[in-house]
């Protein structure tokens, strides 16, 4: 196959990236506290699950980070990218991939990465 | 009291407006389907409830509008302001107010308004 | 006038709050660097200026905070609420108000407040 | 090379998807009018340009769609995904790709797609 033909594999990673970028920029900034974190996790996972090519998604928000960011005066904080651990299985045609987002301490960055194709 | 002194009443409406503006621009655009609409309602209400001055909040998303906007090919749509019915009770000092957002057909606009002060 | 009648003054503060809440949750999270900060300031101010009741708005993003938050590896950061200094004049009927958002160090919080009514 | 080894080509499409998903969910919903549309285009393009792997980006907002969506009473509308035409060149290692987002009338959908790899 010619190298410049776009494949299902190309598309599965393109779609996977779209989901992570969308999730991040739709939901970070949401007010959150330890009492409301679970409903936010559920809603984020369900919201992204309706998009094309998503087979499975789990969203986990780091309670320790939320706790450490709670404002002393007001008792809540905002959802930050670094608080998110997201695991997504994406399918395009006959190709599946697993991608994730997780805070990378060395880079001080919420790193999105490809974990596997199968 | 001098007219240019800022009162608790002034602040209760200022805080109420902040909540509605925040809710609208944080969550509209979220992917949603009939299966996931309830988790989104819950998360929006809980998220805004942690902000200062919020006594009570209910969020309802219009299922008929969601249904009519579902994309034929992909089976989901985005949360739009016009789909939202939001009722908030806000308190500042000793003053309470009820404000709301609801789609106004005549204006073709998701209208935010003050309902009462008490 | 009965205390429970909603006045222009009530509405001017409600509208002012809506603008600040909207601005905050629409634009925080935007990728930004020292080279792009000016275009973001301009777009935020112009975007909010088209909403009802806005007479004037200025938006300033703190360059020192942006600089201190730039990721070492990637050279950019995200717009945070604490980086924003926003000044808005709002008018409702015959009443005008000036409101603002500015980072409050003591509270460690991007504080929105009413500055004056006139 | 084993099929399950992740390549630069895989990553270029993953990164490209991230940019389009981020752009869409960060900026749709922004208030806009014909007078302010240009500053919003500029800010969106500059904002996404600072993210990793972006070589070039152009953002164009459809003036006719904005005009047709302006609210009669208030004279502005919100940026919708369907108004956006986005062209991005992304580079990962030695691989480049061109991706785009454009409204697809048949699907009634703001379609993101891979245009070429080079």
Q: What angle do CA D54, A11, A47 make, to 5 degrees?
A: 85
Q: Is A8-117 a domain of CATH 3.30.1300.20? A: yes
Task: List chains touching D (3+ CB pairs under 8 A).
Answer: A, B, C
Q: What span, in angstroms and rounded, lies between the C-alpha atoms of D1 and C76?
A: 34
Interface touch D76/C50, C-beta < 8 Å: yes
Most D CBs within 10 A among C15, C19, C35, C39, hence the mutation to make, goes to C39
Neighbouring C-beta atoms of residue D114, cutoff 10 Å: 20
Is pLDDT of B1 > 80?
no
- Render pLDDT for A76-85 as a digit per residue (tens, 0 to 9): 999 999 999 9
pLDDT value of residue B72 = 86
Per cent of chain A over pLDDT 70 is: 98
Alpha helix segments (H runs only) across B28-73:
37-49, 63-69
Per-residue model confidence (pLDDT) at position A51:
96
Tell me the C-alpha distance between C38 and C59, whole Å.
10
Contacts of D108 in chain B (CB under 8 A): 71-72
Which residues touch C14 (CB under 8 Å, ≥6 apart)?
A: B13, B14, B16, B17, B99, B112, B114
**pLDDT digits 0-9 by tens, D66-90:** 999 998 888 999 999 999 999 999 9
Residue D12: which pLDDT band, with cuts at 50, 70 and 90? very high
Average pLDDT over residues C43-71: 97
- B49 to chain D, closest Cα gap in Å: 22
Residue A8 pLDDT: 98
User: Residue D2 — pLDDT band, cuts 50, 70, 90?
Assistant: low
- B71, B81, B107 ranked by CB distance to D109: nearest: B71
Contacts B72 to D, Cβ<8 Å:
108
**How many Cα atoms within 13 Å fall on the side-chain side of residue C21?**
27
Q: Across the strands, what pairs with D59?
A: D86
Question: Which residues in C have their CB inside 8 Å of a CB on D?
Answer: 22, 26-27, 29-33, 35-36, 39-40, 42-44, 46-52, 74-76
Instruction: Nearest chain D residue to A13 by CA: give it.
Output: D14
Tell me how crowded residue B94 is: count the other CB atoms within 10 A of its CB: 8
The Cα C27–Cα C84 span in angstroms is 10
The fraction of chain B above a pLDDT of 90, given in percent, is 92
Of residues B42, B48, B76, nearest to A50 (C-beta): B76
Of D26, D33, D35, nearest to C30 by CB-CB distance is D26
What are the CA-CA distances from residue B53 to residues A75, B93, B102, C101 (Å)?
12, 9, 21, 17
| pLDDT in the model for residue B4 | 87
SS3 D8: helix
Segment D82-101 mean pLDDT: 98
- Looking at the predicted structure, is the pLDDT value of residue C23 above 80? yes
| pLDDT tens-digit map of A57-82 | 999 999 999 999 998 888 999 999 99
Pair A97, A89: CB distance under 8 Å: yes
> How large is the average pLDDT for residues B76-82?
97
Domain ranges (residues) in chain C: 8-117
Q: Which band of pLDDT confidence, cut at 50, 70 and 90, is reported for residue C1?
A: low
3-state SS track over chain C: CCCCCCCHHHHHHHHHHHHHHHHHHHHCCCEECCCCHHHHHHHHHHHHHCCCCEEEEEEEECHHHHHHHCCCCCCCEECCHHHEEEEEEEEECCEEEEEEEEEECCCCEEEEEEEEEC
- The reply to whether D15 sits in an annotated binding site is yes
**Residue (of A67, C87, C51) closest to B110 by Cα position:** C51
Q: Is A118 exposed, middle or buried (0-12, 13-18, 19+ CB in 10 A)?
A: exposed
User: Residues B9-57: pLDDT tens digits?
Assistant: 999 999 999 999 999 999 999 999 999 999 999 999 999 999 999 999 9
pLDDT reported for residue A60 = 98
Q: Is the pLDDT of residue C76 over 80?
A: yes
Cβ-nearest to B31 among A31, A35, A50: A50
Decide if pLDDT at A86 tops 60. yes
- SS3 state at D77: strand
Q: Give tens-digit pLDDT for B62-74.
A: 999 999 999 888 8
First to last CA, chain C: 19
Residue C67 has pLDDT above 60, yes or no: yes
Looking at residue C62, what is its pLDDT?
98
CB of D13 within 8 A of CB of D97? Answer: yes
Q: What is the mean pLDDT of residues A93-101?
A: 98
pLDDT, tens digit, for every residue of A27-37? Answer: 999 999 999 99
Q: What is the mean pLDDT of residues D16-39?
A: 98
For residue D51, the model assigns a pLDDT of: 96
What is the DSSP code string of A22-52? HHHHHHTT-EE-TTTHHHHHHHHHHHHHTST
Instruction: Give A44-98 as a DSSP string.
Output: HHHHHHTSTTEEEEEEEE-HHHHHHH--TTTS-EE--GGGEEEEEEEEETTEEEE
The chains found to touch A (3+ Cβ pairs under 8 angstroms) are: B, C, D
């Amino acid at each position: 196959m010619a190298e410049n033909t776009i494949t299902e594999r190309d598309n599965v990673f393109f779609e996977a990236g779209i989901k992570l970028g969308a999730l991040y920029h739709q939901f970070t900034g949401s007010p959150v506290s330890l009492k409301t974190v679970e409903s936010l996790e559920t809603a984020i996972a369900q919201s992204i699950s309706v998009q094309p090519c998503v087979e499975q998604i789990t969203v986990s928000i780091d309670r320790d980070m939320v706790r450490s960011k709670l404002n002393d005066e007001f008792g809540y904080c905002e959802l930050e990218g670094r608080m998110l651990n997201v695991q997504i299985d994406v399918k395009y045609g006959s190709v599946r991939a697993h991608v994730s987002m997780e805070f990378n301490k060395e880079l001080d960055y919420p790193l999105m990465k490809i974990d596997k194709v199968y």
